[in-house]
Structure 1
């Protein structure tokens, strides 16, 4: 037994020394996706000053940025594009548009709700945008209920909930998690463009909507695309993100600004969002929303627009029956995050979902991601993408990910190590979301604020974590109880071999 313990200790020490972790500073190529470059005047670690202590409490932390990370050796942050699960809804009704943009998905208890732009030709020849509604019990199979609310083409047998252009051009609801919100305003929404400004709406059931007032609450910005609002639990206010134009060249780039409100009716002057030293790109939609498992982190899976590119010929676009107004440019989903304020973190610049094979995926403005990521089934969550935009084959497509699986700390077969910044926690145990290969492993040490192993909580004392689990409680020599260290400054020293760590939480 002692011999086996000595062999494990010697093996771990050799691996840790081989990845050059002990005492070595981070260099630009040691797993740092920013290359050591400064970001918006903040430290390159994308978090508080390294000397500050992070009050983590019992919050879950996902590894979509470097907020918790002090050092990485032999490990890196990697993004995990979601898996294509195929179409879940086609936009094929006469009151639905061939360009059903700005889709919102909400999970309300056991019900999934979808809101999207439709449109049809009125008897007077005028084209009228509307807002359509669909429901699902599992997030996979969707139905368009016959609501009988709005007349279209001589009948109310449809799933339209609103029709008032231009407010329904981009009507975007959310579930109001503000504990002070009255029950008859459990759902809120904003709609409108530059012609009207953004008007506030409220609903008790998500289907019957009324304006909260006739006066616009936000008038600045380019308001013709999806304008996203929600109650921020971490900031204790309503926030709204919308499209603006910003620097770069004479014409500028499509970008994002943000306003805040204590009551959803009185909003601050918009402030432009910043991206550190990342290059400007055209951000057509930003789709910013609190991540449902860590609401202090806003995940934004938006649409990057590349206006100067077109790979399909005019004949090919006509053969696909793409609306002539949507021939120019390409678009694709991308990933960024924010922790409040006017800062986005763009740790990953690559596409989150690459356009698929087939020219129908390479016309302008297709591949629009919907708003919100929602849990679907055990250990899984879904993102929905509007594909074949402005084509007769337009549909909503589901993509799946593991919980917290936007990105991870990853280390190869040779092994890697990570040290966190100093933090305090509440709770009694450490839970991780991780996966390893059959030969891989994860080990975690608890250290004091000076980086010294706490007695009984070293890497050698840590259980060898092998497997693929969304929730695994870490043990040290069979013990899980960390309550003696709750509220005290500590650090984590994490060793990985052919493994991914998606999130941690003290519970």
Structure 2
């Protein structure tokens, strides 16, 4: 059942970024203290403190709630966790060394030697303030984890209201003991304590006292302390942060499990295709120039942080026939779309009711509309394997077959610049289709590519790979067909109606518009091949079928779209409606996903009837309406390898360690995951009985001769168990760092129990 749109809008703040807890107390902003004082300090204070309590004041001052970071003071952004109760909190960097750009003495406060008992910290705020929350990040250095705070008492004052009283305050208000969880050094550490003040708590001074550590160290410390007040909704509201779009030029690729490209052994796992959640119609067909329907073709961020949508609009003419062109809409949230009057293109002005067409027909002529005289863009840096920022966007200067193609560093400023058309770059070629955009650069074969339906249907529709080395001369030589394992039942005959592809995570991900044709119904208005000629004279096989439903499936390619792996394409990723008049009887997609926090948003189009509605199948109508519908899914969570209560072991192919951290996209919230890392070695028989040299990747455990591929310190039992639901979880080992393996070629041995594993990467 679709998520109700009124409720969706009420939850808008949560959907704007990674999902947050929806209770009102979450809306808050950090209060910057005017002064701080502590029982003792290890180092010096001032504007460049070293182990001094002043770091807690400066850390709050430098905090940017939109990004979740505070520069050199330790907070590094919002972790990619899917758990709603954790996603809103910034993560603190751990310290294993002291890089010049981020020295750890500036990132934490520590007492003097011997100051580990009954320590205290006081904060003076700019004024008497209503307090909503207290966030505390514990000491985050290692191996001195004995300095971590075990407990403290939180105090407020209703007596002291004047400035400059710090150190001489009577604390007669709240008094609350807080016990810290026993968590050691953690990368991306979220607050160890989130304390919610009783409603109406007001104070100018806050004291943390009776602070004691886990021991046995004679010092203690804290990484960060934030006091929050209820938010007025400004930029520093911690629930209204802006997630920066990762730069694909620097972001390492994930190894996903849509196919076996990175897998050596997956025995015992189940490959699970996860369906996105339907959020409802967000782009309605409602204008005189939209009487056939609307189809989202590009949604992206504008430079000011708002969103823009290029969509195809179609209208039915009152005198018969239809017309289609490009339209433009803007939104503050990606859900509620405004259609500005641009005055650029003539379009109908009046809607006339029609007894057999759900949206009526159009007439009139005027320019008070949101139509634009160009084609839709494609972000080639996000989805097209392009590194040159001057070629980030590709679009056409008009919306028809053979339109001139241009590159741009930014989409046109249609709302703010009246001369935007003059600033479009020079034409660099053409795009043979006006529907699909230029999709990606194939660096293996050194050519530009886009995917869409290939010409001529018989024997079935299929997807085609259109390629060009110069954007002027195009070839069509490779296809994606249904095969012998697909349905040939005449009631549900499988065809590839169309393909939209994106180049992501080092591969091409294809979204297949999967047509399920009903060949039991004839098409009296068509010849067998769908054109104005009989097939018998040309010895064609098969026939063109118009009636049918459509769903979306997934396929992958690792050679630039020439061949396709269909491991997960036998089942629908987005299902079509089951009823004859379902609003989503056909589901199509030509718009790449929009990254929103820890989610991917998919803008699709849906039709409320079978394909070829006008062929006489429906008694009461001759057409459907097309509207834009939103689906959402956690980032990169198309497919998981799932293990149940019996632990299973995934063994990867050899992978080069290209980063200092190993990350998993994993949901282990009901089970656990552990990782071992090994390097292939020649394993010989103890008595020399093997007349061959054997590299045995399945030797992940110590055999009877005490041999294993696993590296010292990287055994499965050396790994800190993963029990989180996180799209970017940093794997930790108890004694060593993944950085030790940098540049080496390794295999991962991932033990999964009652959990879903979606992918891994080194970063």
Q: How does 1:30-69 map to 2 (within 5 A)?
A: 58-69=252-263
Shift of residue 380, structure 1, vs aligned partner: 1.1
- Corresponding residue of 1:272: 478
Matched, 1:175 2:382: no
Deviations 1:153-185 (A, max 9, x none): 33322110128xxxxxxx5531243454648x8
* Partner residue of 2:281 out of 75, 87, 103: 87
Q: Name 1:5's counterpart in structure 2.
A: none
Aligned equivalent of 2:436: 227
Note closer, same or farther for the CA distance 1:101–1:484 as it changes in structure 2 (3 Å cut).
Answer: same
Question: 1:254 is paired with a residue of what secondary structure?
Answer: coil
Cα 1:132/1:346, change in 2 over 3 Å: same
Q: Equivalents in 2 of 1:271, 1:102: separation in Å?
A: 28
Corresponding residue for residue 721 of structure 2: 464
User: Could you tell me which residue of structure 2 aligns to residue 403 of structure 1?
Assistant: 635
- 1:260 corresponds to 2:467: yes
Q: Are the equivalent residues in 1 in contact too, given 2:292–2:316 (CA < 8 A)?
A: no
Q: For residues 308-323 of structure 1, what are the structure 2 equivalents within 5 Å?
A: 308=518
Partner SS for 1:270: strand
Classify 1:262/1:367 alpha carbon distance in 2 versus 1 (closer, same or farther; 3 Å). Answer: same
Note the aligned Cα RMSD (angstroms).
3.4
Structure 1 gaps of 5+ residues are 1-56, 164-170, 312-325
Counterpart for residue 329 of structure 1: 548
Q: Is residue 380 from structure 1 mapped to residue 593 from structure 2 by the alignment?
A: no
Aligned partners of 2:316 and 2:323 also within 8 Å: yes
Cα gap change, 1:283/1:357 in structure 2, threshold over 3 Å: closer, same or farther?
A: closer
Alignment of 1:17-28 (within 5 A): none
Residues 288, 371 of structure 1: 8 Å contact kept: no
In the alignment, the residues of structure 1 paired with residue 431 and residue 499 of structure 2 have an alpha-carbon distance, to the nearest angstrom, of: 20
For residues 175-213 of structure 1, what are the alpha-carbon distances to aligned partners after superposition, in whole Å with 9 as ceiling and x for unaligned? 243454648x844248777xx556535565345566965
Distance in 2, Cα, partners of 1:297 & 1:69: 15
Counterparts of 1:362 and 1:175, CA distance in 2? 30
CA distance in structure 2 between the partners assigned to 1:88 and 1:485 by the alignment? 48
Q: 2:276–2:632: 8 Å Cα contact kept in structure 1?
A: yes
The answer to whether residue 754 in structure 2 is matched with residue 498 in structure 1 is yes
Q: Distance in 1 between matches of 2:559 and 2:278?
A: 30
Structure 1 position 200 matched with structure 2 position 405 = yes
Give, in angstroms, the shift of residue 504 of structure 1.
0.8
Q: Which residue of 1 aligns with 2:338?
A: 143
Distance 1:279 1:124 in 2: 45
Q: Distance in 2 between matches of 1:135 and 1:468?
A: 33
TM normalised by structure 1 equals: 0.72
Q: Is the 8 A contact 2:591 2:604 kept in 1?
A: no
Note the 1:53-132 alignment, pairs <5 A: 58-101=252-295, 103-107=297-301, 110-120=305-315, 127-132=322-327
Per the TM alignment, residue 467 of structure 1 is displaced from its structure 2 partner at its CA by 1.7
Q: How many equivalent pairs are there?
A: 411
Task: Report if the CA contact (8 A) 1:146-1:159 is conserved.
Answer: yes
Task: Determine helix, strand or coil for the equivalent of 1:384.
Answer: strand
In the aligned structure 2, how far is the partner of 1:160 from the partner of 1:175?
21
Kindly indicate whether residue 572 of structure 2 is the aligned counterpart of residue 351 of structure 1. Answer: yes
Tell me the equivalent position of 1:243.
Answer: 453
> TM-score, normalization: structure 2?
0.49
Asked if 1:446 is matched to 2:677, the reply is: yes
Q: Which has the higher contact order (CA 8 A, sep 6+)?
A: 1
* Cα-to-partner distance string for 1:50-84 (whole Å, 9 max, x where unaligned): xxxxxxx9422221111100011211321101111
> How much has 1:135 moved relative to structure 2?
2.2
| Correspondence 1:429 to 2:644 | no
Pick the structure with greater CA Rg: 2
Cα distance change, pair 217–331 in 1 and its aligned pair in 2 (3 A): closer
Equivalent residue, structure 2, for 1:323: none
| 8 Å Cα contact 2:404/2:429 also seen in 1 | yes
Give the match's secondary structure for 2:754: strand
| Cα separation, partners in 2 of 1:89 and 1:58, compared to 1, 3 Å | closer
Distance in 2, Cα, partners of 1:329 & 1:462: 52
Out of 455-464 and 236-245, give the one that drifted further. 236-245
Cα distance in 1 for partners of 2:632, 2:465 equals 29
* Matching of residue 476 in structure 1 with residue 728 in structure 2: no
Which residue in the other structure is 2:373 paired with? 162
Secondary structure of the residue aligned to 1:81 is coil
Cα distance in structure 2, aligned partners of 1:484 and 1:354: 46
